[in-house]
Chains A and B, each alone.
Chain A
Amino acid sequence: MSINLSFDIGQKALRANQLGLTVTGQNIANVNNPSYSRQEVILTSVASPSKLSTSPGGGVDVISIQSTKNQFIDSRLRTETSTTGRLSAQQQALIPLETTFNDTGTGGINSALNTFFSSFRNLDINPASTSLRINVVESANALATAFNSTRNRLTDIQNQTDKLLQADVSNINSLLDKIAKLNIEIGDTESVNANNNELIDQRSDLLNQLSEYIDINITKNEDSSLTISLSDGRALVLNDKVFQLETTSTPPNGLTNITLNGQAAVIKNGRIKGLLDGIGQIGTKISDLDNLANTISNRVNTLHQNGLDLDGNAGTSFFVSSDGNVISAANLSVSSSIKGNPRLLAAAEAGKSSGDGTNARQIANLLTDNNSQVGSRTGSFSSIYSSFVAEVGQALKSTEDVLSTQQAILAQTNEQRNAFSGVSLDEETVNLLRYQRAFEAAARFLKVSDEITKTIIALGD
């Protein structure tokens, strides 16, 4: 056995264990970094340099510093992150929608509907009363305002959600840029066989962030760069190239359309999908309200035109459109001539004298008449409106129910990732001790080797 070999073994042992201590330090430093993967020093014993059967091995070598990653768990984590992102974005869009329809007090459409039709019921008993007529006009105004302002609020919510969507798209684009840059850096380190665990961790963190926004397909290339594509296969990142998502506003309501290379981007999951779904659901409620306002105005107008006003003249249109378009929740308003002269209210039935309230009674009964057609629904105005409220509530409830299950799934997947890749301080403390003791022992071995060498040299004195 050559003395030199002993020094060699000792030196390698010192180096390996010191590296072990450093990696332990790195692990401890990143204990609270959720995207960090625990690293391990992979050691191997060095084969004997000589062919003799009595010669010992050549010590220890460090093969690599390995990051404990599990591709399967990581990809599942990204899918669950996408789904959670979609549901929570949808919830975010639906909560203000529900608040708008949480209409149990006064001031909302529901109470305005009741007050409006009640005012005609009051008019039935005393159709000639000016104060009751003024009351009808005022409650009709309140109904029109309730429709106008509720619809405005819905459009506001829709636009705000659309702004979130645009912000998210620009976040996606900046993530894509960062991933492409990391692709290059990782490729460079790979070619010189350098340690790139941290870069890969960073990229994997960016991928997790990206999958919160959209569903992505990831393919690994030979140079360890990743190709990222949409679910329809079109690439977002190809090596160092980035294809950014674009937003264009589409008429008539100016809502955002997301495109990739001029064609509509196919997005099936993630926050973007959730926001798009939410915007769609808000849109449905807007057109529901428009239909309701339209049917109410049509039915009231038809009856009103059949009746006679206080001066025996035929009734005119009670509700009109304030902007000349088809009557909707946005433009519903009371005819200005009736507003100016409540005598024009046609409370009497044709052929009867002005004090008759038959027509007012028929209008009052419209509220609970079950034959009103609103869009595809048939029922009374009040039951149709309460079905809107129930639908909005149901949409949010089912989103929240699925979301809470999904959050549990995501938490579990995260726990699984933590169990595999996370840092445990207890383990690292043990590692500290292990490497410290090994380092001390290696130093001791060197000292012994040194003493032996001294003894041999002293033999010559």
Chain B
Amino acid sequence: MNFRVTNNTISDRLTRQINNARQKQAISQEQLATGKKINRPSDDPFGTAVVLDLRNTQTSLEQFTKVANLANTSLTDADSALNSYQNLLDRVNSLLTQGLSDTSTSEAKKIIAIELDSISQDILKIANTRSSERYIFGGTQQDQAPFDPNTSLANPNQSFSKLVQIEPNQPPVETEITASNIFSNTTKSIFNTLADASAALKGTGDPVIDKATLNTSLLELDGFIQQANSTITKIGKNLNQVQSALERLGQSSFSIEEQAQSIEAIDFAKVATQLVESGRALDAILSSSSTINKRSLIDFLG
């Protein structure tokens, strides 16, 4: 630096140096206040885009978690409802076996028939179970009772098992199995079978036909029991799937937050040190400026 130093040179430089130091101080201060390195896109354009993408993924994972929790509730509801159904079917099985036994009197058979009728009503209630305004076995017809509460007739509108996607980029999971796949087979419903059996037990006049009907009913019941068992297994499988999805969602959500932090979070100790350093630099500039500006030839020459 070998040139004339004029008064303007000194004051221009001083202004610039103070500006620079203040700017550095302001940047460190902002980073400390927000805890972030990236406070606007221009701080780190690429980092901003990555963090934005990560946060969006995070939001979508949170959304999936909500959906998966709801699916979990539906499946759990269905599972417990079907367990009661299974118990009722077991009871029907022993009642029908009793009814078939030659030792049963017609009085005893009538009592069995009454119990069957009441079990039929219980099963109807199970099939029409509602949870938060929805029929849990409604499938894709969640606003319509699967079986008519008065006539036990199946809802004529076709319904399908309900599928819901609970994880990003994964096929949907069957969260609600439609009643027709549980309580009906291709020809009749459990209610038809129970009604037939009950009528036979009450006696139609021909004991031979009644016995044949009861035998048929017992066979049909076997079919329904198997249907219930396999549905419960299926629901159990789906519940497992939902629960492991929930676990995965929680884990990736955590690791995404970590990644985002690693990009945008500051190292507090480092930035705090920078703030102190820039403060020192500013002090040095200010105190040296007063020294420079004090000295002038005018002071020495009268």
- Chain A positions within 8 Å of B, measured between CB atoms, are 31-32, 34, 98-99, 101-104, 110, 114, 117-118, 121-122, 124-129, 348, 352-358, 361, 364-365, 367-368, 382-383, 385-387, 389-394, 396-397, 400, 411, 414-416, 418-420, 422-427, 429-430, 433
Contact = CB atoms under 8 A, between A and B. Distances in A.
Contacts of B298: 425, 429
Contacts of A429: 296-298, 301
26 contacts: A32-B7, A118-B59, A122-B67, A124-B164, A124-B165, A125-B67, A127-B140, A127-B142, A128-B143, A357-B164, A367-B60, A368-B169, A386-B48, A386-B56, A389-B41, A390-B41, A390-B46, A393-B48, A396-B42, A397-B41, A414-B12, A415-B3, A419-B5, A422-B7, A425-B298, A433-B301
A425 B43 contact: no
Given A353-B157, A419-B6, A429-B297, A348 B140 contact: yes
Which of A103, A361, A418, A419 is packed against the most chain B CB atoms within 10 Å?
Answer: A418
Contacts of B60: 114, 117-118, 121, 367-368
Interface in B143-173: 143, 157-160, 162-165, 168-169, 172
A444 to B, nearest CB: 21
B1 to A, nearest CB: 10
Given A356-B160, A393-B42, A422 B143 contact: no
Nearest to A101: B41
A126 B41 contact: no
Contacts of B162: 355-357
A121 B64 contact: yes
Interface residues of B, number: 56
Contact of B141 (A32, A353, A365): A353
Contact of A422 (B6, B46, B172): B6
A213 B42 CA distance: 26
B9 A418 contact: yes
B286 interface: no
Given A389-B41, A391-B45, A355 B67 contact: no
Contacts of B3: 415-416, 419
Interface string B53-81: 10110011001101100110000000000
Which of A125, A418, A429 is packed against the most chain B CB atoms within 10 Å?
Answer: A125
A353 B41 contact: no
Given A118-B59, A125-B67, A394-B45, 19 more contacts: A118-B60, A121-B67, A121-B165, A122-B63, A122-B67, A124-B165, A125-B164, A127-B142, A353-B157, A357-B164, A361-B172, A389-B52, A390-B49, A391-B45, A419-B4, A423-B8, A425-B297, A426-B296, A430-B297
Interface in B218-275: none
Contacts, number: 175
Contacts of B165: 121, 124, 361, 364-365
Contacts of A122: 63, 66-67
B138 interface: yes
A352 B3 CA distance: 87
A259 B158 CA distance: 72
Contacts of A385: 52
Which of A126, A361, A387 is packed against the most chain B CB atoms within 10 Å?
Answer: A126
Contacts of A383: 53
Given A368-B60, A386-B56, A356 B71 contact: no
B139 interface: yes
For the complex of A and B, 3 pairs with smallest distance between CB atoms:
A393-B41, A422-B6, A393-B45
Interface string B77-91: 000000000000000
Given A121-B64, A424-B5, A104 B52 contact: yes
Contacts of B8: 31-32, 34, 418, 422-423
Contacts of B16: 411
Contact of A353 (B56, B140, B163): B140
Nearest to A408: B16
B175 interface: yes
Contacts of B12: 411, 414-415, 418
